[in-house]
Amino acid sequence: MASTSKPFLATLAGASLTRPPFWLMRQAGRYLPEFRSVRAQAGGFLNLCFNPDLAVEVTLQPLRRYGMDAAILFSDILVIPYALGQKLEFLEGEGPRLEPIRSFNDIVKLTPEAIHDRLAVVYEIIKRLTHAIPENTALIGFAGAPWTVASYMVEGKTTRDFIAIKNFAFGCPQEFKRLLDLLVDVTTSYLIAQADAGAEALQLFDSWAGVVPASHFRSWVVEPTRKIVAGVRKKHPTIPIIGFPRAAGLNYSMYIAESNVTAVSLDPMVPTAWAAANAPKTMALQGNLDPLALVAGGAVLAEGVAEIRKAFTGRPFIFNLGHGVLPQTPPEHVADLVSLLRK
Ligand code: 1CP
């Protein structure tokens, strides 16, 4: 076990610290006025992701205010479809729009050979961040997991019902498998390149794992994740990988047992006592305050934090939200959270 002065990395390596390290998913974002001002200066979200000066700046903004134990690269999971040649834009107030993939032909038109050229700027941002972050802060790289990225590629936008992706997965299983396999390959290679550039830990976001039928959870969620983890470890045997199968419910159990991730991030619906009892004692867990408890603040926040800390006392644990910081979060509540965690 590599010794490290970074509490976040020590925890991922199995240490259980009395004051748990913390960071927040979507810690850079619209709840911060300084983020909104840089985003306006960039002229659009994708321009922000692909401008090294500005992407480094917004990555550092939450650290300056709150001193999180980890910085997360500022980017988005949808830069992978973009790098594969799919048209992508972010519409103000509406979210992402992609030209949807619906057939074998659409898949063969994708350009996996081009991704590193198109994503070179991401590696540049990581390199700069390794010099820019404080000494005891760790740097997290990330990607979307294949199921979640495929759902955006096929739906073309955020969806509530997942009709297009499920029609595709059930109706054209071979084509769907080919898309998942392609995403496994490019995501593996993308994460390896992030680690080469200096990312010290990696997180795989499977934000839509919760809509996968139980009968297909292994093949659509667990297996692609397991293959990515194995592929990344061939090149970076010790890099910690955090998996986040959001809203997976009872299927968290299979994910914990079979995906081989280093640590698992819990959404707010996972009972803390269940997770503490069922995840291996040496496996770090991360989570899982409801983002709306941070919006509420006050006693709701204090009680939520206390309950989570108590449940995970004595095991490797990283405090986080159970999903991303919401734009309506008062920045003072994040400061309150930090003082609760430092108590
Ligand atoms: O300013 C804006 O309007 C853009 C909002 C925004 C931000 C701040 C988007 C658009 N992406 C991001 C950054 C981002 N996205 C980060 C890095 C910042 C950080 O964590 O501090 C990360 C890790 C992501 C990951 C991401 N993007 C996920 C997985 C995590 C999750 O929230 O579930 C997903 C699903 C996306 C897709 C996405 N990006 C943006 C939007 C509006 C969406 C769609 C969300 C949805 O479908 O509900």
Reported as a single tens digit per residue, the pLDDT across 239-255 is 999 999 999 999 999 99
Distance 75 CA to ligand 1 centre (A): 8
Contacting residues for 86 by C-beta, under 8 A, at least 6 apart:
98, 99, 101, 110, 153
Q: What atom in ligand 1 is closest to the CA of residue 74?
A: 17
Name which residue sits closest to atom 10 of ligand 1, judged by CA: 95
Active site residue 152: yes
At residue 3, the pLDDT reads 60
24 in ligand 1 pocket by Cβ < 6 Å? no
DSSP state letter for 250: G
Tokens of 98: 């992609």
Residue 341 clears pLDDT 60, i.e. is over it: yes
Q: Is 261 exposed, middle or buried (0-12, 13-18, 19+ CB in 10 A)?
A: buried
Contacting residues for 18 by C-beta, under 8 A, at least 6 apart:
none
Q: b or e along 156-181 (b: 16 or more beta carbons within 10 Å of the residue's beta carbon)?
A: beebeeeebbbebbeebeebbeebbe
pLDDT digits (tens, 9 = 90+) for 40-94: 999 999 999 999 999 999 999 999 999 999 999 999 999 999 999 999 999 988 9
Q: Is the pTM of this model over 0.85?
A: yes
- At 177, the pLDDT band (50, 70, 90 cuts) reads very high
287's enclosing H/E stretch is: strand 284-289
pLDDT digits (tens, 9 = 90+) for 131-154: 999 999 999 999 999 999 999 999
30 touches 93 (CB < 8 A): no
Catalytic residue selected from 30, 118, 218, 233: 30
How many other C-beta atoms lie within 10 A of the C-beta of residue 251?
A: 19
Q: What atom in ligand 1 is closest to the CA of residue 205?
A: 29
Catalytic residue selected from 39, 226, 246, 315: 39
322 in ligand 1 pocket by Cβ < 6 Å? no
Catalytic residue selected from 26, 102, 118, 218: 26
What is d(CA 182, CA 170) in angstroms, rounded to the nearest whole number? 18
Name which residue sits closest to atom 18 of ligand 1, judged by CA: 26
25 in ligand 1 pocket by Cβ < 6 Å? yes
Distance 119 CA to ligand 1 centre (A): 17
Going by DSSP bridges, is the β-strand pair 138-144/201-206 parallel, antiparallel, or unpaired? parallel
Residue 257 clears pLDDT 90, i.e. is over it: yes
Residue 282 clears pLDDT 50, i.e. is over it: yes
82 in ligand 1 pocket by Cβ < 6 Å? no
Distance 26 CA to ligand 1 centre (A): 7
Helix (H, G, I), strand (E, B) or coil at 103: coil
203 in ligand 1 pocket by Cβ < 6 Å? no
Active site residue 246: no
Quick check: bond before 288 cis, omega within 30?
A: yes
DSSP state letter for 267: P
Distance 235 CA to ligand 1 centre (A): 28
Catalytic residue selected from 65, 66, 76, 233: 76
Whole-number percent of the chain with pLDDT over 90? 97
39 in ligand 1 pocket by Cβ < 6 Å? yes
Name which residue sits closest to atom 44 of ligand 1, judged by CA: 95
Active site residue 39: yes
